[in-house]
């Protein structure tokens, strides 16, 4: 059996029906409280830790999410891979509302979000050239196909600051940049997962055509919610399929779990306790 799998549920995904709850983890981290309690659950043979990104009543907007606390709490809960489930807008005609996209790249267009655990005095620079774990992504892709979901293999997700949606000029600009889908949450989440040496892969569920499409209504919360419920039902099916059939990728050769050995730009043994405290769970194997 693998280590624990984390699921970060986005808009609409606040619970997973029919799973066995083992424990509710009320975790405090050096970076503050995560968005909610973490639910330790069992799905088949797998221990799964579930966290609703916006809180269970969706009271936390994208720019106020404590991404560092969420990822650090996952680390403390012994999670070594995270499935992010996210609502996105489509920036391409052929990605239709209701389709899923197994994105493989992000462009971080957010501002002012706390986006690193290595805020000094311990400095680290890790590669996010490929921010998505290829193994987890291909297992999720297989699960989407098995669940009969119209799914796109790969895509660029631009992460905007929000909470307002884009202007038409911005939406067209992102299209001209080659972006495929747009959302507000996956950065800095993915970067922080990499710093925490946790595999990360997103299942992006398309809800709308943003505001660039001349024949479709501009995105609104109402239009998102209309599609979101059906998307969430598909996500439940996909997750069941994933954990029953695709969750054991024994031959994975990713190095998501081994980036700090070469990334830390400091002599950890020379640091005092105060410097190590906020990153202890990330660096304890090097001390």
Ligand X SMILES: CSC[C@H]1O[C@H](OP(=O)(O)O)[C@H](O)[C@@H]1O
Ligand Y SMILES: Nc1ncnc2[nH]cnc12
Is 208 designated active site?
yes
User: What residues contact 253, with CB distance under 8 A and at least 6 apart?
Assistant: 135
Look at residue 31 and give the partner it binds from ligand X, ligand Y, none, a contact being a CB closer than 5 to 8 Å depending on partner kind: none
**Tokens standing for 190?**
């993915």
Chain residues 214-233 in contact with ligand Y, contact rule CB under 6 A: 219, 224
Chain residues 197-216 in contact with ligand Y, contact rule CB under 6 A: 207-208, 210
Look at residue 62 and give the partner it binds from ligand Y, ligand X, none, a contact being a CB closer than 5 to 8 Å depending on partner kind: ligand X
Whose Cβ is closer to ligand X: residue 118's or residue 212's? Answer: 212
Look at residue 185 and give the partner it binds from ligand X, ligand Y, none, a contact being a CB closer than 5 to 8 Å depending on partner kind: ligand X
Minimum CB–partner distance for residue 74 and ligand X (Å): 15
Look at residue 97 and give the partner it binds from ligand Y, ligand X, none, a contact being a CB closer than 5 to 8 Å depending on partner kind: none
Helix, strand, coil tally for the chain in percent (to 5): 30, 25, 45
Chain residues 44-73 in contact with ligand X, contact rule CB under 6 A: 53-54, 62
Task: Determine the Cα–Cα distance for residues 6 and 236; give it in Å rounded to an integer.
Answer: 15
Do residues 231 and 225 make contact, with C-beta atoms less than 8 angstroms apart? no
Interface with ligand X by CB under 6 A: which range of 110-118, 169-177, 183-191, 237-245? 183-191
Q: Is 86 in the site for ligand X (CB under 6 A)?
A: yes
Mapped onto helix, strand or coil, the DSSP state of residue 89 is: strand
Site string for ligand Y, 165-194 (x = CB under 6 A): x----------------xxx----------
Cis amide linkage into residue 188, ω under 30° from 0: yes
Task: Determine the Cα–Cα distance for residues 134 and 260; give it in Å rounded to an integer.
Answer: 19
Long-range contacts of 138-141 (CB under 8 A, 24+ apart): 138/249, 139/242, 139/246, 139/247, 139/249, 140/83, 140/102, 140/201, 140/203, 140/238, 140/242, 140/246, 141/102
Query: Under the rule (CB under 6 A), what is the footprint of ligand Y?
Result: 87-89, 160, 165, 182-184, 207-208, 210, 219, 224
Query: Under the rule (CB under 6 A), what is the footprint of ligand X?
Result: 10-11, 53-54, 62, 86-87, 162, 183-185, 224
Per the annotation, where are the binding residues for phosphate? 11, 53-54, 86-87, 185
């Amino acid at each position: 059996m693998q280590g624990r799998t984390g699921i970060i549920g986005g808009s609409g995904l606040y619970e997973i029906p029919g799973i066995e709850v083992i424990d509710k983890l009320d975790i405090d981290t050096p970076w503050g409280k995560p968005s909610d309690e973490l639910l330790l659950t069992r799905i088949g043979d797998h221990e799964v830790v579930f966290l609703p990104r916006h809180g269970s009543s969706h009271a936390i907007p994208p720019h106020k999410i404590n991404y560092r606390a969420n990822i650090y709490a996952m680390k403390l809960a012994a999670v070594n891979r995270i499935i992010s489930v996210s609502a996105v807008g489509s920036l391409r005609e052929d990605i239709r509302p209701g389709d899923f996209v197994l994105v493989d790249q992000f462009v971080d267009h957010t501002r002012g979000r706390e986006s690193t655990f290595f805020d000094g005095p311990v400095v680290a620079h890790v590669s996010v050239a490929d921010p998505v774990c290829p193994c987890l992504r291909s297992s999720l892709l297989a699960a989407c196909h098995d669940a009969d979901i119209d799914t796109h293999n790969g895509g660029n997700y631009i992460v905007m600051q929000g909470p307002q949606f884009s202007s038409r000029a911005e939406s067209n600009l992102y299209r001209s940049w080659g972006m495929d889908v747009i959302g507000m949450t996956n950065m800095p989440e993915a970067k922080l997962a990499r710093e925490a040496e946790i595999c990360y892969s997103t299942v992006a569920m398309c809800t709308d055509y943003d505001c660039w499409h001349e024949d479709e209504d501009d995105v609104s919360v109402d239009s998102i919610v209309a599609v979101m419920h059906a998307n969430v039902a598909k996500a439940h099916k996909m997750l069941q399929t994933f954990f029953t059939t695709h969750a054991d990728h024994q031959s994975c050769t990713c190095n998501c779990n081994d980036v700090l050995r070469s990334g830390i730009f400091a002599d950890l043994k020379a640091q005092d306790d105060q410097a190590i405290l906020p990153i202890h769970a990330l660096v304890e194997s090097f001390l």
